[in-house]
């Protein structure tokens, strides 16, 4: 065997390997002996047919194809050992020619990660402030959710709830057909088409109307986006919206522990602050990781991003299949989402994930981040807290060696991110252990 050439580029090695005739002959003989013991050839006892007869019986290259099943993997292993190559994953093999047997092995190599001086990264997270107007906006939303509607004898106005017959079509294709359906007349409503609510304003009970509107750019059927739809509507009933007054009685109806409006606004403010702080924390962690990645030098094979894209698409398709009721509906939706489009959509995020993962793994080594069994057990208990009667079953499942290793990696990554955040904030030696444990 000889390696004709070796190219290493973008953390991928391309080996062209030519096998010696002696190696090929030895493998052919083994295949002959194995197959000869297994099959019967007319005129010969099992295992007694000459090799030339067996080759004729199998057809051209039949024996060689069987021999190559073991010959190529063995030759590949010898080649990477000889060339001192450490593969990341299995190679892709391509047979170039059969005389002499020559094949190519494209081999993803282990990434090279050189971390920049992340101790010099200094950043501060955005401060969270909650304004009175934000709280009042939530109060208005709660009033909206608790509104009542009373029949009125007047034309339709914005905020009314109407009972209406609706038929809509684009050409000969019906896109909506509903009888006596409730429709909330709101300016921001884009269903079934932008501007539909405004067309209902000033209509009276039992009045019918025909009008056209262009479908939204986000319309679920891509082939109909931007097309003009013709709608026929008939108003059956008009109900006026009545919002509850913001008083202590209203506040008490929302949560058991709320006694008055002040309690309500305090509770809403704390919830909003916690939500904003969670969002700011996640965004700040992303910013710190991005800053570290920018300071680092990374070389990795493209297959790492390809695999991450494949995983993301698989997850998306699983969620999509769970969102529809029938297989035909799922297949119809798939036709509107070409795989190439999904690859384009997910590749930037997949690249970011791969680079972040490589950097964090290297930093966890540099910072000597450790995770003990008690931390893994505690994480498992958190993961199963909503499992109800299946708690014991889920606990046993998560305690398998494979799952414990996965959970350990999760905790290691989390603790590494916390360490980086502390460094960026200048809090490297201030309560680091407590923060990592959260």
CATH number at residue 197: 3.10.50.40
Q: Which residues contact 198 (CB under 8 A, 6 or more apart)?
A: 187
Rounded Cα–Cα distance for residues 263 and 251 (Å): 8
Which pair of tokens denotes residue 355? 């680079």
pLDDT value of position 407: 95
CATH number, domain of 63, equals 3.30.70.1050
Q: Of 83, 110, 137, which residue is a domain's last?
A: 110
* C-alpha radius of gyration, the chain, whole number: 34
Give the DSSP H/E element, type plus range, for residue 387: none
**Cα gap 411→417, rounded to integer Å:** 10
Task: Report the C-alpha gap between 136 and 251 in whole angstroms.
Answer: 13
| Rounded-to-integer distance, Cα 32 and Cα 19, Å | 19
Same domain, 296 and 392: yes
Whether residue 206 is found in the same domain as residue 306: no
Look at residue 438 in the predicted model and tell me its pLDDT: 46
- If asked whether residues 169 and 76 sit together in one domain, one would say no
CATH number of domain containing 329 = 1.10.3120.10
Establish if 384 belongs to a structural domain. yes
Residue that is last in its domain, among 55, 88, 110: 110
Identify whether residues 285 and 412 lie together within a single domain: yes
SS3 51: helix
Sheet holding 2-9, edge to edge: 2-9, 12-18, 101-108, 92-98
pLDDT value, residue 430: 46
- What is the span of the domain harbouring residue 156? 148-242
Q: pTM for this one?
A: 0.75
Q: Which domain-ending residue is among 85, 110, 135?
A: 110
Looking at the fold, whether 189 and 303 belong to one and the same domain comes out as no
The SS3 of residue 321 is helix
Domain assignment of residue 98, yes or no: yes
Q: What is the pLDDT along the chain (438 residues), one digit of tens a residue?
A: 777 667 788 899 999 999 888 888 788 788 777 887 778 788 787 777 887 777 777 776 777 887 888 889 989 999 999 888 999 999 999 998 888 889 999 999 999 999 999 999 999 999 999 999 999 999 999 999 999 999 999 999 999 999 999 999 999 999 999 999 999 999 989 999 999 999 999 999 999 999 999 999 888 888 899 999 999 999 999 999 999 999 999 999 998 889 999 999 999 999 999 999 999 999 999 999 999 999 999 999 999 999 999 999 999 988 888 877 788 888 877 877 888 989 999 999 999 999 999 999 999 999 999 999 999 999 999 999 988 888 999 999 999 999 999 999 999 999 999 999 999 998 865 444 444 444
In a domain, 44, yes or no: yes
Tell me: cis bond preceding 192? Omega within 30 of 0 counts.
yes
Same structural domain for residues 54 and 167?
no
Q: Read off the tokens for 188.
A: 């921001």
The answer to whether residue 299 is domain-embedded is: yes
- Same domain (yes/no): 226, 294: no
Asked if residue 425 and residue 294 are part of one domain, the reply reads yes
Q: Rounded to an integer, what distance in angstroms lies between the CA atom of residue 305 and that of residue 434? A: 34
Domain count, the chain: 3
- Same structural domain for residues 330 and 190? no
Which candidate, 54, 47, 104, places its Cα nearest to that of 76?
A: 104
Domain co-membership, 296 together with 238 = no
Residues 297 and 361 in one domain: yes
Does residue 15 lie within any of the structural domains? yes
Whole-angstrom distance, CA of residue 90 vs CA of residue 77: 11
The answer as to whether 132 is a domain residue is no
pLDDT value of residue 428: 63
Q: Rounded to an integer, what distance in angstroms lies between the CA atom of residue 408 and that of residue 415?
A: 11
Residue 136 belongs to some domain of the structure: no
In a domain, 270, yes or no: no
Tell me what pLDDT residue 68 has. Answer: 87
CA distances from 94 to 20, 120, 422 (A): 18, 47, 49
Residue 340 shares a structural domain with residue 389: yes
Predicted confidence at residue 436, as pLDDT, reads 46
Q: For residue 134, count CB atoms less than 10 angstroms from its CB and return exposed for 0-12, middle for 13-18, buried for 19 or more.
A: middle
């Amino acid at each position: 065997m000889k390696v004709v050439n070796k190219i290493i580029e973008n953390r991928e090695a391309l080996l062209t390997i030519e096998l010696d005739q002696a190696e090929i002959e030895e493998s052919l003989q083994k295949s002959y002996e194995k197959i000869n013991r297994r099959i019967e050839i007319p005129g010969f006892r099992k295992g007694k047919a000459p090799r030339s007869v067996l080759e004729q019986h199998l057809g051209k290259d039949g024996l060689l194809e069987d021999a190559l099943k073991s010959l190529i993997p063995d030759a590949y292993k010898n080649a990477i050992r000889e060339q001192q190559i450490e593969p990341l994953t299995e190679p892709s093999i391509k047979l170039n020619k059969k005389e002499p047997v020559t094949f190519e092995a494209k081999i993803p190599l282990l990434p090279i990660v050189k971390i920049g001086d992340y101790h010099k990264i200094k950043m501060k997270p955005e401060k969270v402030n909650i304004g009175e107007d934000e709280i009042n906006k939530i109060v208005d939303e709660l009033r909206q959710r608790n509104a009542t509607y009373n029949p009125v004898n007047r034309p339709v106005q914005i905020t009314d709830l109407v009972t209406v017959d609706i038929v809509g079509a684009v050409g000969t294709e019906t896109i909506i057909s509903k009888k006596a359906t409730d429709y909330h007349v709101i300016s921001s409503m884009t269903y079934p088409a932008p501007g539909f609510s405004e067309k209902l304003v000033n209509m009276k009970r039992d009045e019918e109307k025909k009008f056209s509107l262009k479908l939204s750019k986000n319309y679920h059927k891509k082939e109909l986006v931007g097309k003009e739809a013709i709608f026929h509507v008939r108003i059956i009933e008009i109900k006026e919206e009545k919002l509850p007054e913001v008083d202590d009685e209203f506040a008490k109806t929302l949560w058991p522990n709320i006694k008055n409006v002040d309690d309500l606004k305090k509770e809403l403010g704390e919830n909003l602050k916690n939500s904003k702080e969670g969002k700011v924390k996640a965004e700040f962690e992303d910013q710190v990781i991005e800053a570290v990645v920018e300071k680092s030098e990374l070389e990795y094979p493209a297959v790492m991003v390809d695999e991450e894209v494949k995983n993301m698409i698989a997850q998306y398709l699983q969620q999509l299949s769970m969102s529809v009721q029938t297989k035909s509906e799922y297949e119809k939706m798939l036709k509107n989402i070409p795989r190439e489009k999904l690859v384009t959509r997910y590749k930037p995020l997949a690249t970011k994930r791969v680079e972040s993962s490589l950097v964090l793994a290297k930093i966890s080594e540099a910072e000597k981040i450790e995770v003990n069994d008690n931390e893994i057990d505690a994480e498992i208990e958190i993961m199963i807290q909503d499992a109800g009667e299946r708690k014991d079953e889920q606990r046993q499942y998560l305690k398998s060696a494979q799952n414990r290793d996965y959970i350990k990696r999760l905790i290691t990554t989390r603790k590494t991110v916390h360490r980086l955040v502390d460094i960026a904030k200048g809090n490297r030696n201030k309560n680091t252990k407590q923060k990592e444990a959260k």
